[in-house]
């Protein structure tokens, strides 16, 4: 079994992750990371394509084009967050850190590729290693890499995400819809500023923005179906600089999360309705920028159960957890619109190592021992996938 060879690479797995953690690069700005990945894969004797879709890297281990082909995907971009951890591998780039685990995803896939490359003669199929840039920022790297033919010849695809919600030893899975549709919006409310002692001579954009924030919450509580989950969160509110001056404008921004296109379109139309009502009642004008996000990740049953059954064969996987759908977004969804596949979650939470902060937190970290479970699940899934394909 391929997993029998995995543990000997645990130190290298951690070393790769820590190197990447110390040298993060933002979405669409990845340069050194893609070189690191391509050099590593090339040294394994894997055919490498760089600059795929802009900054993506694809490794192809093609034995025979007539055989089944399985792709494995990892992302490698970081976030504009200051690393606040006090660890030896803390980010060396001010204001940038791997606060979502993409460094771990990359390390896992590189070690997976290393082990598979050593056993390529034993594998009755082809494997494509997709290292994707820019998962964190729309339009995302997946759709760009797909347009650049990264799925050429691929029959199915699998991927994983480390999770600070699951303790080490657990693997999370779900057949069907896993993630939501993450839309973002930015609104500028233009009023007329003036002296704070004479608000009647102004059109107060702050008062209008506060009213808008309250009105927007009414959409979720009274306009959407109770059976169709939706979230609307205001995450930015900027206005004014002085205590005695009502400013000319206010800016707010946030996100809307849904699971289906009908609810997504309803949320957008009601947002517009609230803004038009604000124009009528307050006299402000507005500018709206609205960005529709990734489609939901929808796992296919055959590929998801291949992963689940593979995980059951791994001693260090202590529990399989069937997850509820999450309103988080993930552009792995674009691959699943083209080919069957599945996306699972690897537990990396451990309070003893302060690896219990949520994703996108300045102190986010993982228990690195959890990464080996992801490697083993990938390896066993590859082995089982090709055995099943050969028997059908």
Contact 9, 115 (CB under 8 A): yes
49, 75, 83, 135: the active-site residue: 135
Q: 100 a known binding residue?
A: yes
Quick check: 251 and 239 in contact, CB under 8 A? Answer: yes
Please give the Cα distance from 286 to 93 (Å, whole number): 37
N-term to C-term CA, the chain: 21
- From the number of C-beta atoms within 10 Å of its C-beta (0-12, 13-18, 19+), residue 348 rates as buried
Neighbours of 42 (CB within 10 A): 13
Alpha-carbon distance of 34 to 320, in angstroms, equals: 33
The catalytic residue among 25, 49, 77, 155 is 77
Count Cβ atoms below 10 Å from residue 61 Cβ, excluding itself.
20
Q: Is 135 a catalytic residue?
A: yes
CA distance 171 to 178: 14
Tell me if 161 is assigned to a ligand binding site.
yes
**Residues with Cβ < 8 Å from 35, sequence gap 6 or more?**
none
Note if 77 is an active site residue: yes
Residues annotated in the binding site, as ranges? 100, 102, 136, 161, 360
**Residues identified as active-site:** 77, 135
Known binding residues for Mn(2+) are 100, 102, 136, 161, 360
């Amino acid at each position: 079994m391929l997993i029998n060879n995995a543990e000997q690479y645990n130190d290298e797995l951690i070393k790769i992750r820590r190197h990447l953690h110390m040298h993060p690069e933002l979405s669409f700005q990845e340069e050194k990371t893609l070189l690191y990945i391509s050099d590593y894969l090339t040294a394994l004797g894997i055919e490498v394509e760089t600059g795929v879709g802009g900054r993506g890297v694809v490794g192809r281990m093609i034995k025979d084009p007539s055989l089944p082909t399985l792709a494995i995907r990892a992302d490698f971009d970081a976030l504009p967050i200051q690393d606040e951890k006090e660890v030896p591998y803390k980010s060396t780039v001010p204001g940038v850190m791997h606060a979502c685990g993409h460094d771990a995803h990359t390390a896992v896939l590189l070690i997976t590729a290393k082990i598979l490359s050593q056993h390529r003669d034993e594998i009755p199929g082809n494997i494509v290693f997709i290292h994707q840039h820019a998962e964190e920022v729309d339009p995302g790297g997946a759709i760009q890499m797909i347009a650049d033919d990264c799925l050429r010849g691929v029959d199915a695809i699998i991927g994983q995400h480390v999770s600070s919600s699951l303790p080490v030893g657990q693997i999370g899975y779900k057949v069907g819809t896993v993630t939501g549709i993450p839309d973002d919006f930015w609104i500028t409310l233009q009023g007329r500023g003036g002296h704070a002692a004479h608000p009647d001579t102004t059109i107060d954009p702050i008062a209008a923005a506060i009213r808008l924030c309250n009105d927007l919450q009414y959409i979720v509580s009274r306009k959407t179906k109770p059976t169709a989950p939706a979230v609307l969160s205001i995450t930015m509110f900027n206005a004014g600089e002085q205590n005695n001056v009502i400013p000319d404008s206010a800016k707010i921004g946030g996100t809307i999360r849904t699971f289906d296109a009908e609810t997504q379109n309803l949320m957008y139309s009601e947002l517009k309705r609230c803004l038009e009502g604000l124009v009528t009642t307050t006299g402000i004008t507005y500018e709206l920028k609205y960005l529709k996000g990734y489609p939901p990740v929808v796992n296919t049953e055959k590929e998801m159960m291949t992963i689940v059954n593979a995980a059951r064969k791994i001693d260090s996987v202590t529990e399989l957890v069937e997850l509820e759908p999450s309103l988080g977004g993930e552009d792995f969804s674009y691959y699943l619109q083209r080919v069957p596949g599945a996306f699972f979650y690897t537990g990396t939470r451990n309070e003893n190592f302060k690896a219990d902060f949520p994703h996108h937190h300045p102190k986010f970290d993982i228990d690195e021992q959890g990464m080996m479970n992801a490697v083993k699940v990938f390896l066993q899934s590859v082995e089982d996938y090709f055995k099943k394909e050969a028997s059908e």
